[in-house]
Amino acid sequence: MTTPPSDWQSSKGIARSILHDRTARRKAMARSLALLMIVFAIGLWGIDEWLAADLMRFVLWWGACGFLALFVVLFALYDAMRVIREERDRD
């Protein structure tokens, strides 16, 4: 009798499949970028007065946006390095 995989093992498998497939990786990167743009727009025009009312809210919101932006940049760098590696291995 085998035990079902843990949530950690399942998450690792999903991440591995996304990172190794160029199409899935690009779709995930596009979704992440779209989410970043939506979050920026909400912060700039949707809840700007609410954020301006409290310094902690402002710092947490834009700090989270900064982390999301960093994630998107790192994802793009990983994609670029992976494409270079795939092209080198193909030749």
- Written in H, E and C, the secondary structure of 16-74 is HHHHHCHHHHHHHHHHHHHHHHHHHHHHHHHCHHHHHCCHHHHHHHHHHHHHHHHHHHH
User: Does 61 fall in a domain?
Assistant: yes
Region 2-27 average pLDDT? 79
Region 37-47 average pLDDT? 91
List b or e across 19-38, with b for residues whose CB sees 16 or more CB atoms inside 10 angstroms: eeeeeebeebbeebeeebee
Region 21-26 average pLDDT? 84
User: Does 5 fall in a domain?
Assistant: no
Domain that holds residue 63: 24-90
**pTM of this structure:** 0.76
Count of domains for the chain: 1
pLDDT, position 11 = 78
Residue-wise pLDDT tens digits, 43-82: 889 888 898 898 999 999 999 999 999 999 999 999 999 8
pLDDT, position 24 = 85
The answer to whether 43 touches 68, Cβ cutoff 8 Å, is no
User: Does 8 fall in a domain?
Assistant: no
Tokens of 29: 């990167």
pLDDT, position 1 = 64
